Amino acid sequence: MIDKFSTEIIKKNFNNAALNYSHYSLIQKYFAKKIVHQIKNLKIPTGNWYDLGSGTGFLADQIEEEFPKQKVTRIDFSSKMLFKNKNNSKKLLWDLNNDLPLVNEKISLFVSNFCLHWLDEPKSKLKNWFNQLIPGGYLIVSVPTNKSFPEWRLTCEKKNIEYSGINFLKPKELKDIFLNNEIISFDIVSYKEEFDNVFDLFRNIINMGSQYTPSNRKTVKELRLMQNSWPQNKNNKVALTWEIGLLILKKNELKK
């Protein structure tokens, strides 16, 4: 459960990270390109397109580059992230924990890349977004799953240190919200990052604005213990493995 106080902390973290976010958000860019590739294979009806939790606008930019006649409205609660979007882009400063202020909008596409897990009651938010689509419209979401960060969890277990990462949803929890004929595909993709040491790993998380945790912050002593126990590859690098769910949903068309 992410309460109002926690939401303000998360917003502050992303505002502070906005200036250099594009440099560090490699995994977000990787999956943004995957989302664009998926869109190219869909027959999306005429309507408005929105990027929910758009950040600095990389995904929306990629979509508009691929579909130059289609404008994508970027929605985010971080004013500094939105400020980094293109000057001529359509932007809306809005906290996605609240219902979308899109009354009487003809929405044929929602995309959301690495946003859902930051929201309170993410399953209900996902369902609400889906319900706002026009018949035949699509919702495409990338979200980390509960199998992310096995190296981090194992290290904490070995050294009896509290795991301070976010507990992500299980893929089944997301699938169970929808009817089978509403789910076009749900791919699980593994993505591995490598760093020279644990300190660089956690510094990268901070540089992306993703450091919020309901747990206590790790002490230097705890970080050193983790550095000594974290699994290393043959190049003496430490890895952080993500498991990402890429979910594509389609609103059933009205029967004629």
Average confidence (pLDDT) over 69-87: 96
Residue 210 lies in a domain: no
Q: Tokens standing for 160?
A: 């009896």
For the chain, the average pLDDT equals 95
In a domain, 230, yes or no: no
Decide if pLDDT at 170 tops 80: yes
Q: In what order do the strands lie in the sheet with 133-144?
A: 91-93, 72-76, 48-52, 107-113, 133-144, 238-250, 183-195
Any domain includes 220: no
Residue where the block lists tokens 């500094």: 80
Determine the Cα–Cα distance for residues 243 and 144; give it in Å rounded to an integer. 6
DSSP 3-state assignment of 221? helix
Residues 84 and 18: their CA atoms lie apart, in Å, by 7
Give me the pLDDT at residue 215, please: 86
Domain that holds residue 94: 4-147+168-193+244-250
Average pLDDT over residues 83-101: 95
User: Do the Cβ atoms of 245 and 253 come closer than 8 Å?
Assistant: no
Q: Flag whether pLDDT at 2 surpasses 70.
A: no
User: How many folded domains does the chain comprise?
Assistant: 1
φ, ψ of residue 14 in degrees (nearest 5): -70, -35
* 235, part of any domain: no
> Per the domain annotation, does 156 fall within a domain?
no
Query: pLDDT, tens digit, for every residue of 120-133?
Result: 999 999 999 999 99
Q: What is the pTM of this model?
A: 0.94
Could you tell me the CATH number of the domain that includes residue 28?
A: 3.40.50.150
pLDDT of 256 over the 70 cut: no
- Residue 138, domain member (yes or no): yes
225 within some domain: no
- Give the pLDDT of residue 13: 96
- Say if strands 238-250 and 183-195 run parallel, antiparallel, or are unpaired: antiparallel
Q: Which residues contact residue 43 at a Cβ distance below 8 angstroms, ignoring those fewer than 6 apart?
A: none
User: What pLDDT, in 10s, does the model give residues 226-245?
Assistant: 999 999 998 999 999 999 99
Q: Is residue 227 part of a domain?
A: no
pLDDT band at 254 (very low <50, low <70, confident <90, very high): confident
